[in-house]
Amino acid sequence: MANKELQEDIKQRFLRYTQVDTQSNPNKVMDNHPSTIIQIDLIKMLEKELIEMGVSRIKVTDTGILIAHIDGNVEGAPCIGLMAHVDTADAVKGNGVKPQVIDSYDGGDIKLKSGLVIKAEENPQLEQYKGETIITSDGTTLLGADDKAGVSEIMSAVKIILNDSSIKHGDIEVIFTCDEETGCGMDVFPYDDIECDYCYTVDGGTRYEVETECFNASHADITFTGKSYHTGDARGRLVNALTLAGKYISSLPQAESPEATDGRFGFYCPLDIKGSLDKAELGVFMRDFDLSELERREKTLISLAETLQAIYPGAKVDVKIRKQYYNMVEVSKKNPKVVSSIFEAGKNLGMPLFEAIIRGGTDGARMANDAGIPCPNLFTGGHNFHSLNEWAALPAMEDSCRLIIEILKIGAQK
Ligand SMILES: [Zn+2]
């Protein structure tokens, strides 16, 4: 049974938040945090609304990160974080959003005001929402369900919890961040200011999808040092660093490239290259869900360097490897309740949750890696992120909110 009152609360928030411009700018992120000052407008709005709900402990950093603390009503229960980001991507126009509400979706194609069409056949997820509420943009901008759906769902969950003392929960930490889309928002995260024992990002898509795993990632800087010589006189003398770099790239297994893999399979990916006859530099990154597979690739890069040195006397190939981030499931394993309570909550609510893996990283993965705080990702009910065809389904947004509340309840149980 849909909870119309809850749906209305989420919808009104979502319409309000999506109309606040918050597009981030990946080109500005090195100089400014947040990359665009407008993101703070929504942070301030959320702060005000939290105060109106009765939340008194709120901190907003000058880099635009909001941390609100809500006291629990169960002694000794763990503190659980709920995290979402306020910025929207810059892949398409993201400011000036005019959300459109379709109250009773007819099951067919959705024609947007701009003339753009969200095709039913390209969006099989739409079918389940026949007769339900769908929200889109007018087709001239993205919608911003990524991640204002998550923001709305967390805010509505907080409101319910504060208004119903029969809900037993531990301390809750609400965290709203800027610049997730630039990948740099967590660079300035105030880990010292948070207390949560574990956390959930509400930044996924498809209804009932739960993401607990992301890639392990490492990066190699490979330097090829050759011997430069006048090319007219180079026979037997020149060792061309560019030739070495080319050989090196062509020796990487093509079956383990991003363009040849999906699912749980990891890869090598040459990322950038520059150089001259005497010196060339190559960046390669490696990804895998399985840490031992990632480390196998790291070793392969080193032995490949040794092989090249053996074949080309006078050549020097240096490999420097650094880990970028780890699969967040490694951190969750230390506290199995983090993941198990998601699925227990889903079971209690009759939601057929399913697990998916992220072929990339998330802010939650950063939190897991930087601070050892497990942080799986929950669905928001949004689709076609970073595009003019973005849409969100209100029943799924309601489900996300109910799931959050149930997870908080389970968190407080022994
Ligand atoms: Zn997002």
| pLDDT value at 32 more than 90 | no
Residue partners of 46: CB distance under 8 A and separation at least 6: 17, 66, 86, 151, 155, 176
pLDDT at 4 over 90: yes
Average the pLDDT over each of 101-115, 347-361, 398-412 and give the range with the smallest value.
347-361
CATH architecture of 216-325: 2-Layer Sandwich (3.30)
Q: Which residues are CB-neighbours of 128 under 8 A, at least 6 positions away?
A: 207, 393
Q: What percent of the chain lies above the pLDDT cut of 70? A: 100
84 Cα: distance to centroid of ligand 1 (angstroms): 8
Q: Indicate the range of 6-20, 141-155, 365-379 predicted with least confidence.
A: 365-379
Q: How confident is the model at residue 27 (pLDDT cuts 50, 70, 90)?
A: confident
- What is the 3 state secondary structure string of the chain? CCCHHHHHHHHHHHHHHHCCCCECCCCCCCCCCCCCCCHHHHHHHHHHHHHHHCCCEEEECCCCCEEEEECCCCCCCCCEEEEEECCECCCCCCCCCCCEEECCCCCCCEECCCCCEECCCCCHHHHHHCCCCEEECCCCCCCCHHHHHHHHHHHHHHHHHHHCCCCCCCCEEEEEECCCCCCCHHHHCCHHHCCCCEEEEECCCCCCEEEEEECEEEEEEEEEECECCCHHHCCCCCECHHHHHHHHHHHCCHHHCHHHCCCCCCEEEEEEEEECCCEEEEEEEEEECCHHHHHHHHHHHHHHHHHHHHHCCCCEEEEEEEEEECCCHHHHCCCCHHHHHHHHHHHHHCCCCEEEEECCCCHHHHHHHHHCCCCCEECCCEECCCCCCCEEEHHHHHHHHHHHHHHHHHHCCC
Distance 175 CA to ligand 1 centre (A): 14
330 against 104, higher pLDDT: 104
| pLDDT tens per residue across span 53-97 | 999 999 999 999 999 999 999 999 999 999 999 999 998 999 999
Q: What pLDDT shows up at residue 219?
A: 93
* 346 CA → ligand 1 middle, Å: 22
pLDDT at 360 (0 to 100): 82
Residue positions annotated with a catalytic role:
87, 180
pLDDT for 10? 98
Q: How far is the CA of 176 from the centre of ligand 1 (A)?
A: 12
Is residue 1 pLDDT above 60, yes or no?
no
What are the φ/ψ torsions at residue 316 (nearest 5 degrees)?
-130, 130
CA atoms in the 13 A half-sphere facing the CB of 271 = 12
**What's the predicted TM-score (pTM) here?**
0.87
Q: What separation in Å is there between the alpha carbon of 362 and the centre of ligand 1?
A: 8
Mean pLDDT (whole number) for 132-136? 98
Whether omega for the bond prior to residue 374 falls within 30 degrees of 0, making it cis, is: no
Mean pLDDT over 210-217 rounds to: 93
Phi, psi of 383 (to 5 degrees): -140, 165
**Ligand 1 center to 342 CA (angstroms):** 20
Q: Same CATH topology for 4-214+327-411 and 216-325?
A: no
Instruction: Determine the average pLDDT of the residues in 278-283.
Output: 97
Q: Mean pLDDT over all residues of the chain?
A: 95
Q: d(Cα 66, Cα 221) in Å, to the nearest integer?
A: 36
- Residues bordering ligand 1, an ion, CB closer than 5 Å: 146-147, 203
Q: 394-411 vs 337-349: helix axis angle to the nearest 10?
A: 120
Distance (Å) from CA 133 to ligand 1 centroid: 22
Residue 2 reports pLDDT greater than 90: no
State the average pLDDT over residues 394-405.
98
For residue 99, the CA-to-ligand 1 centroid distance in Å is 18
> Residue 130: is its pLDDT beyond 70?
yes
Contacts of 163 (CB under 8 A, 6+ apart): none
| CB burial string 120-131: b at 16+ within 10 A, e below | beebebbeebee
Write the class of the CATH domain 4-214+327-411: alpha beta
> Is 80 exceeded by the pLDDT of residue 30?
no
User: Residue 318: what pLDDT?
Assistant: 98
* pLDDT above 90 coverage of the chain, percent: 89
Is the confidence at residue 29, as pLDDT, over 90?
no
**For 295-338, how does the pLDDT look when each residue is reduced to its tens digit (9 = 90+)?**
999 999 999 999 999 999 999 999 999 988 889 888 888 899 99
- Domain spans of the chain? 4-214+327-411, 216-325
Ligand 1 centre and the CA of 146: distance in Å?
A: 5
Kindly state the average pLDDT of the residues 193-207: 96
33 pLDDT higher than 60: yes
Any residues with CB less than 8 A from the CB of 104 and at least 6 apart, and which? 131, 132, 133
